[in-house]
Amino acid sequence: MPQVSLNSPAGPLAIAEEDGAIVSVDWGWPATEQETPLLVRARDQLL
């Protein structure tokens, strides 16, 4: 499952995508990251 992370004011967040949709936003850093255009847009909107 593709995931990206970011360092937010509230702490680290991980955003995950499945089948072209955001399926989770969790606290912490994922073990691995795989960027997709959707995840990059989501991360940019949260920064």
| Burial of 3 from C-beta contacts in 10 A (0-12 / 13-18 / 19+) | buried
Residue 47's contacts (CB-CB under 8 Å, 6 or more residues apart) are 6, 8
The per-residue pLDDT for 47 is 86
What is this structure's pTM?
0.90
- Report pLDDT digits (tens) over 18-47: 999 999 999 999 999 999 999 999 999 998
Decide: helix, strand or coil at residue 46: helix
